[in-house]
Structure 1
């Protein structure tokens, strides 16, 4: 995961902490690289603290003072990632680009990992964060709400249509995934176009011309609300967008200039034989925004006069029942249809209340739609000025500077809503339905009993379902293989009775510590006191622990595998979580190495004889 950061000391730490603590992908199977600048002391300090706190976070300091451009920052990080791979004998399957203010969905990496089998580039939905709409904040959130409306319409409806019709799908700049086979086409690490203000859009167009489609994915999961109703939640990237007029103008000027005036020329697109007709049409739709947005200003004036002249005695702009009059009626119907489509998109993403404010407050000319169009009009005028008159500062440099937006982030109490609990996880897996979960939660509250115990007692889930889900949520390593097949390590100092009493068994041992198998409810401090030294816990069910202890003294069918794995652990080539993932998918000594290499581990490492 790459995060390019400049002047982000206020948001970077909570963003990365939330990503790591809420994510349900194995922590040892992803790394986060923070691209910072040597002259940005605040962000450098935060990145260093995160690097010290989390072993999978790495600070990448740019060779130049910042800000350069976002593309330049990302490319510098990518080049450093290649060096990191060589030094640590790993190979990443893909890169994921995120911004320094993103709320990353707990299931995002899981979904991306699944889709990478079929798709070389993936774009996740991006939906702006919004306050729950109330009368007191309707006008306060008018500008940020206009972003929510536009992204809901684009990412719920339009990008999905582009994907289905094999049209050009642009990157949104965040939640963007690039598989390794595409990255290998850029051996120098210069993946993102450094001369563009919208490097993400231009790169996705370059991918399309190379024959790689960006796959847009819209998947949702169900969650149970406190009132017992089921909420639909999209696996998406959530971000805070500008709430002031000036910030919105600056950001959208950059987008409009970069996409419509800088990324491509229409004549080149129309002549390009590598693009199909629908891709050319979708690019034309993007390109014409620099003209269409300019018509919004006079269009509103003409429309307002047309409506007023229909009810008051005013000089008619269009004689009644003339061709121009019917044309205005038709355009008005189209505008209402557009409002209805926007209402449906916003309703599916943010709920009915937000949709009503978005599209029908007031009817015909809703405030949020008008303000959004005014911002687009103003930003387009500025983009044209930048394109026609130039920018003295940019003319003096070869590459555009990073014109970034100031960011905010959510408070910890609000972030908790985005994290998973046991009920969410079991519901997501389809092991229970919402009615069963709601009923079990009531019983759990009434009897002051853990939800997992209630669900098992009612026969709705198994012990393994509960323990596995709890381990996923709490980011603990769960073991679901028959470890007795791998033999028992040196247990002479410990009696069978002691191991049964503490429900714990040592599995492997290196100079860096002992790996102990136990259950999620045991007293870990007591276990540490018994075995001594550094202890690395892995977890399973009580029934599996019992079977393992009962098999003491038996020779494992795969006894030699753990001994070889201990060598890899000793050298620091892999860790315990990676071992357990590999064992789950391996049947023999040869399989374990192949599995580890498929996981991107042991790159350029010779197998043990």
Structure 2
């Protein structure tokens, strides 16, 4: 109990410090979203943009993603590069159907059979981009990353294009679409992403710390990607994306800072007051959610420590600690829930007349009271941020979903540790991707207003 109470309190201090930073930014007006007009959203871009999508067995969603992007992005100055595999004809067919005859789409077939890794597929798209630049004699200004299941915002390209005028990397928010058929598993992503992309990354950006890329709704300057590609080439890599890394997008965002570039996390609203963000359905089944979070913890906590080490600056070191605490969080949460079960058994025994001879120290009692207070505060913060974006009902569900999120974290943390140990023994890293069957374009509920 002392072990669990100590680590719970340490985590609470960490979270409350971020909360206080956000409150200060809010009070000073630095946490408010920007604004993009209807005219600016549809205005021509300041330079050519390349949008990368890696697709493997995504025939259910890739056509909708391409068709929607082409219909809402009115600019002509972008090319959508879609990476497919020759042994996945269903995805190729769906991508071709979604593209139609639009010249803004390039479907690139990987020379290897799939699946390789997402980073490997993205490197193939980067090679295709470099070939096009040599072939046609022009240079792209930016490279934007998206996933096969994304529903993009009409103003996204304009916002990223404008922000890259004084930055090398821009990350926009991600909006998990509510799923009526999965209010608990699928719904907990809304709680976590909302708190992260409305608070944590806002604080991170204000502190000047490196911004991790989400792999979705993120744009990089062409020069920065070329610089990182050169860095990878010196290490024997085929392109800017680390093929052996499970979270190549996260690592790419941090490398921007290490290469001397400037990163920005940007929240903006359009003329209707809607958040300029990418909508997506996240896993709705328990096993899929655990697999996805296992990959995130493995890539960010274990591979991130191995591959990136630790930065010396206070803000970057603090944020790296927060990013990599997943395995420890899983272990401490597991310990806490075991204690709840034990206390439940003891409670039944006490009702039956058994009296414990164990005395709790005053210090431990104080620690437990502080843990209770911090848990109530954490539930309140979760409610506020989720209700702010999705409504009061979802805010109440967010509080009830906390044990669900904790359970997924516990199981994923254990699996990530086991998989990391296997890679240390020589097991190859594979693309353990999540399959998507439904596209958010089918949802009727509009994107909520940002604040």
TM-score by length of 2: 0.80
Please name the residue that 1:110 is paired with.
Answer: 158
Deviation of the 1:321 alpha carbon: 7.5
Cα distance 1:75–1:318, how it changes in 2: closer, same or farther (>3 A)? farther
Deviation of the 1:325 alpha carbon: 1.2
Cα distance 1:327–1:192, how it changes in 2: closer, same or farther (>3 A)? same
> In angstroms, what is the RMSD of aligned CA positions?
2.8
Cα distance 1:416–1:327, how it changes in 2: closer, same or farther (>3 A)? closer
Please name the residue that 2:259 is paired with.
Answer: 210
CA offsets, 1:255-287, max 9 Å, x none?
A: 111111112249941xx4xx4111011101222
Deviation of the 1:348 alpha carbon: 2.0
Cα distance 1:296–1:66, how it changes in 2: closer, same or farther (>3 A)? same
Indicate if the aligned counterparts of 1:9 and 1:42 stay in contact, CA closer than 8 A: yes
CA offsets, 1:507-550, max 9 Å, x none?
A: xxxxxxxxxxxxxxxxxxxxxxxxxxxxxxxxxxxxxxxxxxxx
Alignment of 1:409 onto 2:451: no
Greater relative CO (CA pairs within 8 A, separation 6+): 2
Please name the residue that 1:330 is paired with.
Answer: 370
Unaligned runs of 5+ in 2: 1-50
Please name the residue that 1:190 is paired with.
Answer: 239
Indicate if the aligned counterparts of 1:5 and 1:43 stay in contact, CA closer than 8 A: yes
Indicate if the aligned counterparts of 1:50 and 1:57 stay in contact, CA closer than 8 A: no
Question: SS of the counterpart of 2:115?
Answer: coil
Please name the residue that 1:278 is paired with.
Answer: 315
Cα distance 1:343–1:46, how it changes in 2: closer, same or farther (>3 A)? same
Indicate if the aligned counterparts of 1:171 and 1:214 stay in contact, CA closer than 8 A: no
- Which whole-Å CA distance do the structure 1 matches of 2:256 and 2:189 have between them? 27
Residue 287 of structure 1, aligned match among 304, 316, 324: 324
Cα distance 1:200–1:376, how it changes in 2: closer, same or farther (>3 A)? same
Listed as ranges, the matches of 1:28-39 within 5 Å are: 28-39=76-87
Deviation of the 1:199 alpha carbon: 0.7
Deviation of the 1:318 alpha carbon: 7.5
Question: SS of the counterpart of 1:152?
Answer: helix
- Which whole-Å CA distance do the structure 1 matches of 2:151 and 2:355 have between them? 54
- Which whole-Å CA distance do the structure 1 matches of 2:379 and 2:342 have between them? 20
Indicate if the aligned counterparts of 2:280 and 2:440 stay in contact, CA closer than 8 A: no
Deviation of the 1:144 alpha carbon: 0.6
- Which whole-Å CA distance do the structure 2 matches of 1:158 and 1:70 have between them? 26
Q: Give the aligned length.
A: 390
Please name the residue that 1:454 is paired with.
Answer: none
Cα distance 1:374–1:414, how it changes in 2: closer, same or farther (>3 A)? closer
Alignment of 1:16 onto 2:66: yes
Indicate if the aligned counterparts of 1:15 and 1:100 stay in contact, CA closer than 8 A: yes
Alignment of 1:157 onto 2:199: yes
Deviation of the 1:102 alpha carbon: 0.3
Indicate if the aligned counterparts of 1:168 and 1:283 stay in contact, CA closer than 8 A: no
Indicate if the aligned counterparts of 1:144 and 1:241 stay in contact, CA closer than 8 A: yes
Residue 55 of structure 1, aligned match among 100, 103, 116: 103
CA offsets, 1:357-399, max 9 Å, x none?
A: 111xxxxxx2x1101110110011011111224498x72x4xx
Residue 344 of structure 1, aligned match among 362, 381, 384: 384
Please name the residue that 1:387 is paired with.
Answer: 420
Indicate if the aligned counterparts of 1:3 and 1:98 stay in contact, CA closer than 8 A: yes
Unaligned runs of 5+ in 1: 224-231, 360-365, 429-609
Residue 253 of structure 1, aligned match among 294, 299, 321: 294
Please name the residue that 1:171 is paired with.
Answer: 213
Larger Rg: 1
Cα distance 1:345–1:16, how it changes in 2: closer, same or farther (>3 A)? same
TM-score by length of 1: 0.60
- Which whole-Å CA distance do the structure 1 matches of 2:269 and 2:110 have between them? 38
Indicate if the aligned counterparts of 1:97 and 1:176 stay in contact, CA closer than 8 A: yes
Deviation of the 1:217 alpha carbon: 0.9
Alignment of 1:145 onto 2:187: yes
Alignment of 1:244 onto 2:244: no
Cα distance 1:277–1:245, how it changes in 2: closer, same or farther (>3 A)? same
Alignment of 1:130 onto 2:178: yes
- Which whole-Å CA distance do the structure 2 matches of 1:11 and 1:184 have between them? 30
Indicate if the aligned counterparts of 1:318 and 1:324 stay in contact, CA closer than 8 A: no
CA offsets, 1:106-129, max 9 Å, x none?
A: 111111111111110011111211
Residue 45 of structure 1, aligned match among 73, 93, 97: 93
Please name the residue that 1:378 is paired with.
Answer: 411
Indicate if the aligned counterparts of 1:3 and 1:99 stay in contact, CA closer than 8 A: yes
Deviation of the 1:65 alpha carbon: 0.9
Please name the residue that 1:199 is paired with.
Answer: 248
Higher mean displacement: 183-192 or 146-155 = 183-192
Indicate if the aligned counterparts of 2:64 and 2:98 stay in contact, CA closer than 8 A: no
- Which whole-Å CA distance do the structure 2 matches of 1:168 and 1:331 have between them? 30
- Which whole-Å CA distance do the structure 1 matches of 2:246 and 2:146 have between them? 17
Alignment of 1:235 onto 2:292: no
- Which whole-Å CA distance do the structure 1 matches of 2:357 and 2:59 have between them? 56
Alignment of 1:96 onto 2:144: yes
CA offsets, 1:317-337, max 9 Å, x none?
A: 984772211110101100111
- Which whole-Å CA distance do the structure 1 matches of 2:213 and 2:440 have between them? 28
Indicate if the aligned counterparts of 2:281 and 2:440 stay in contact, CA closer than 8 A: no
